[in-house]
Structure 1
Amino acid sequence: MDKALPATVMPATVIAEDLLPGDLIFQLRSGGEAEWVISRLFAGRDGAAINHVALYDGDGMVLEAVMPQVKKTSLDDFVSNSVLDNHGRPCVLICRLVSSYSALVPAALEFAEQQLSMPYDLHYSQNQDEHQKSWYCSELIVHAFRSANDGVFLFEETPMSFRDMETGELMPFWIDHYQAVGQKIPEELPGSHPALLSCSDKLISINILGSLPARNGQDVCSLEPGSTLA
């Protein structure tokens, strides 16, 4: 008899059963301070803490902009970087374009594929067009569908914020980050965030595997990949 999987394991093959190419996979990605502060800026769909998003490419692979560059990642590896909720489920939300926009998927995937190996946009640069040379996670997806939609934004850009959503104060992490690179914080400039992208009315929720309220981001984002709150 096969051994049962531990309660903290959610095999990616189960997740893949619900996926179609072009689906957006939102995630509460575990890691260090950067993951934590990104999760503290905005709340996602139904208040979920979300700090990362990838585009499902089919055949168990996703396209994502993550340090150090845009890459193609196996679904197993992607899910393994999720925070696990206290039931051992990865904090992953799967969304799909509403059917009236599904024809844009092939061109959006083609655009994202063309960005492979482009560097991660560590400073969340603004005023760049779809031919720019670096991307952060939601930025890649917003511009992939913009390209597929003849240059018209399908997912509208939103004002950037680097303030804690509860206190309204600029977060010290971002103050230090932009001082170190000699740049002004791009507060209120057009951009995107995976949490806000998850709230788009152009998307429908297909599956929620595990979720946490955004206010708990400080607790969960300090965990190592594959850790659980239990």
Structure 2
Amino acid sequence: MNKLDLKPIVSILLVVLCISCSTDSLKIKSGDIIFRGNAHSDLSQAINEVTQTSKSTNYSHIGICEVSNGDVFVYHSDLGKGVIREPLEAFITAKDSIGYTVDLYRIKTLEDKQIETALVKAKSLLGNSYNSTYILEDEGYYCSEYIYELFKADSIFKLEPMTFKNAETHQFHSGWITHYENLGIEIPEGKPGCNPNGMANNDNLMFIRKIK
């Protein structure tokens, strides 16, 4: 009786296993960080133009994912809405972000307990207003401030001096001049803060895939 050659079978099983593992790693998981490209609003354009780096895309918005009963939700703080939880599809198809990229990132060294704690805090902050001054001490949360706050105890993200100046002209971006004139306060140049482009470049994050 001839012995069965198991080598082809083993090879096929290994390929299937590798494909399965690869596909699983690309799935959205609770705790994943999602970035959205700059929208059609003047403020979104202003955020992007003063925060872009050589490594970043054109992110001007950020949220955190939660997978619940097979559905994906995004917690984020949005201008005009405040801190909300909405389906992934709503986050992707926001009317002012149509045509822009949506990318998924994952925090490399985060344990399940840390993710659970972050999402519990995300839920506890629902309903807070949007912090339109971008000054940390002020009421509410702007989008990246909200994500920073969720992982503050884990020291995942760092605060840096904010700038509202055009990198080429070194003058205040016109969008920010208008924004702060409307608020009736000085531009908080140099105050500590964070932004989506800077957070995407954090060494603790790894790019998973493009969603849109």
Scaled by the length of structure 2, the TM-score of the pair is: 0.78
The residue aligned with 1:73 is 86
Q: Give the residue type in structure 1 aligned to 2:58.
A: A
* TM-fit CA distance, 1:77: 0.8
Partner of 1:134: 140
Instruction: Describe the superposition over 1:143-200 as per-residue Cα deviations: whole angstroms up to 9, x where unpaired.
Output: 11014x3xxx320111111112332210122122223322121111100001100000
Q: 1:63 to 1:44 in 2, by over 3 A?
A: farther
Query: Which whole-Å CA distance do the structure 2 matches of 1:163 and 1:192 have between them?
Result: 15
- Aligned residue in 2 for 1:22: 31
* 1:143 to 2:149 alignment: yes
CA separation of 1:44 and 1:24: change in aligned 2, threshold 3 A: farther
Q: Rg larger in 1 or in 2?
A: 2
> Unpaired runs of 5+ in structure 1?
1-16, 85-89, 211-230
- Could you tell me the percent identity over the aligned residues? 25
Distance 2:175 2:61 in 1: 18
Q: Which runs of 5+ in 2 are unaligned?
A: 1-25
Give the match's secondary structure for 1:39.
helix
AA aligned opposite 2:47: I
User: Which structure is higher in RCO with an 8 Å CA cutoff and minimum separation 6?
Assistant: 1
Q: Tell me the C-alpha RMSD between the 2 structures.
A: 2.3
**Separation (CA, whole Å) in 2 of partners of 1:45 and 1:96:** 20
Residue 116 in structure 1 maps to residue 116 in structure 2: no
How many Å separate the matches in 1 of 2:54 and 2:85? 25
Give the Cα separation in 2 of the matches to 1:60 and 1:29. 22
In structure 1, what is the equivalent of residue 178 of structure 2? Answer: 176
Q: 2:207 aligns with which of 199, 205, 208?
A: 205
**How many residue pairs were aligned?**
183
Normalized per residue, the structure richer in strand is 2
In the superposition, relative to structure 1, how do residues 76 and 100 fare at CA in structure 2: closer, same or farther (>3 Å)? Answer: closer
Q: 1:43: which partner in 2?
A: 52
Bigger proportion of residues as helix: 2
